[in-house]
């Protein structure tokens, strides 16, 4: 990891920024949405469904996907993860769901952030 400060990426959701802060605090190298994996193609070979995991941790060779969606709304994301594992079995990927993220934030003293992903308003956080 370079000592030079890097320009933070534009995160799609505030929970991603919080996760990046935790990684930075522990000196864990990461890149944000570094790769897109094609998952489905049409008859002409054009990609119709793709997946870009939120983070890649090179030292762990691990992709990380975060979600604060309610379980009922995660079907699409779970389908993409299932396709990822089928098409790219060599790729290590971990999904952190809302409860896991909230517990992590509490463990690291980020109580205000943890409160924001509690309840049904979590999807709107940051919008």
pLDDT at residue number 110: 67
In a domain, 96, yes or no: yes
pTM: 0.77
The domain of 95 spans 14-119
Is 56 in contact with 63 (CB distance < 8 Å)? yes
In a domain, 1, yes or no: no
In a domain, 71, yes or no: yes
Residue 112 has pLDDT above 90, yes or no: no
Report d(CA 66, CA 122) in Å as an integer: 13
Kindly report, residue by residue over 55-81, the tens digit of the pLDDT. Answer: 999 999 999 998 876 766 678 888 999
The CATH number linked to 20 is 3.40.960
pLDDT at residue number 58: 96
């Amino acid at each position: 990891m370079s000592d030079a400060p890097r320009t933070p990426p534009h995160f799609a959701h505030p929970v991603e920024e919080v996760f990046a802060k935790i990684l930075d605090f522990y000196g864990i190298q990461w890149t944000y949405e570094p790769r897109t994996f094609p998952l489905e193609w049409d008859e002409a070979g054009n990609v119709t469904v793709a997946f870009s995991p939120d983070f890649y941790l090179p030292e762990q060779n691990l992709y990380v996907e975060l979600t604060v969606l309610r379980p009922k709304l995660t079907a699409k994301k779970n389908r993409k993860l299932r396709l990822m594992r089928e098409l790219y079995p060599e790729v290590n990927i971990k999904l952190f769901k809302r409860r896991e993220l909230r517990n992590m934030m509490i463990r690291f003293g980020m109580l205000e952030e943890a409160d924001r992903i509690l309840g049904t308003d979590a999807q709107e956080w940051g919008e």
